[in-house]
Amino acid sequence: MKVSIVMGSISDKEIANKVINILKKFGVDYETRVISAHRTPYLAAEFAENADSKGIEVIIAIAGKAAHLAGIIAGITPLPVIGIPAKSSTMDGLDSLLSVVQMPKGVPVATVAIDGGENAGLLAVQILSVKYPELREKFKEYKKEMVEGVIKMDKELNDELNK
């Protein structure tokens, strides 16, 4: 199982690191690339055309501003593509969000929140869990850990307020 994390720019590395942390937690192999939809369009097309044959099963594309990377890749590859709109300097990421989420019919891109690296990683795990039952079990455990974390926070808060 392999996820490719493609950044439109090295400035997206912080978001990619959030994805990587999730994938490592679940034991999912990954690769990282920097490919610009606008500055290296032929490289983006070549990547999208060959990803499936290279064993990649899910692609996560991070881009800001015009943010066409996920759409370019999704237009070429048969693989599931998850888009992460990156917060940009111009419109706080709203421009990126609209560029990633407003895809034409027939070219789906699953889109997470602006700078939503963690959720993109988790969505990739969920997609892969359809094929890999061990990931499904790990994800169920992850959900239990989240529940336990919230219960712990609730108890700590109440203990603190009721002293």
Residues 149 and 125 in one domain: no
- Tell me: pLDDT of 141 over 80: yes
Domain count, the chain: 2
Same domain for 28 and 7:
yes
Residues 149 and 103 in one domain: no
Question: Same domain, yes or no, for 109 and 150?
Answer: no
- Predicted pLDDT at 163: 78
Q: What is the residue-averaged pLDDT of the chain?
A: 96
Q: What is the DSSP letter of 78?
A: S
Strands 81-86 and 110-111: parallel
Amino acid at 72: I
Question: Is it the case that residue 1 has pLDDT exceeding 90?
Answer: no
Same domain, 58 and 116: yes
Residue 116 clears pLDDT 80, i.e. is over it: yes
Mean pLDDT of 109-114: 98
Look up the pTM and report it: 0.94
| In a shared domain, residues 159 and 106 | no
Dist CA 138 CA 135 (whole Å): 5
149 and 85 in one domain? no
Range of the domain at 143: 133-163
78-107 pLDDT, tens digit per residue, is: 999 999 999 987 788 999 999 999 999 999
CB count, 10 Å around CB of 28?
22
Verify that 26 and 93 share a domain, yes or no: yes
- The reply to whether 98 and 138 lie within a common domain is no
pLDDT digits 0-9 by tens, 50-72: 999 999 999 999 999 989 999 99
* Cβ–Cβ under 8 Å, residues 7 and 16: yes
